[in-house]
Structure formats: structure tokens, C-alpha cells
Structure 1
């Protein structure tokens, strides 16, 4: 099963219309899982009041948050 289909039941916050992880620890655990699936380094970054997953995929900077209890890539504003 892909990590993008796995439900995320961790606490979240909304910052600038993006749903992010509330805690750094939860974000770090998901970053490890995402890193294994995509086979790229993934870090966690504080964005406003929440934490996002960040990495570089196919030559482009990517940021992932949460949408509908699933990981979702989004554009940073």
C-alpha cells in the first residue's frame, strides 16, 4: 500500500489554508515513511503554526501537508 493512501490521524493545524502536522514528532515519523517510499531525503520544516514535510523530487522542491487525512503535496505561498 502506498503511503499516500494511509490515513493520518495525528493532530493538525491550519495555516494559510494548508493543513499541517501540529507536532514536530508526528511530522518526523511521516517524513521517514515518505522518504522510504519516494527514496529521497525528506525533512520537516516549521511553517507558521505547523510542520510540513519537505524534499526535492525530480529536480523540484516539494512540500507535503495533509488533506482529508492523507498526505498531499502543495505549493508554498
Structure 2
């Protein structure tokens, strides 16, 4: 179930380490969380940057980290 995005939400960038993540994994996670918005997921150095209606909580970041691609 997606979380509601309030009309007065102040969108901001949030970041997560890039290790074994890609734009599709992060975008899919954010889509599940908030639905069909443009999240502007981009790699920026050692991190991915993405546009969200609120910063991810520590638990949400841990959930996203759990979706990393397996080691080759």
C-alpha cells in the first residue's frame, strides 16, 4: 500500500550509498512507497540522490539496502 503524499509536502533530495543498487531498484522502492511520481534518481559520486516528499527513515533505508543486487 502506498503512503499518501500531502499537497503541502516539501519535496527534498535524500541520499543512499550506491553499493549494489541501481536506479531501477531505488525507483521501484519509491514507487511502492509513494506511487507514480518523478523521483529523479541519479548516481552522484558514491551515492544515489532521489527526490522525495520526506526523507526516508532509517528503517526505510535499511529496507532499501535489503533490495541490493546479490554479489557476483
The bucket for the TM-score relative to the shorter chain is 0.3 to 0.5
TM-score (norm 1): 0.36
Which structure has more RCO (C-alpha within 8 Å, separation ≥ 6)? 2
More strand by share: 1
TM-score (norm 2): 0.38
Larger radius of gyration: 2
More helix by share: 2
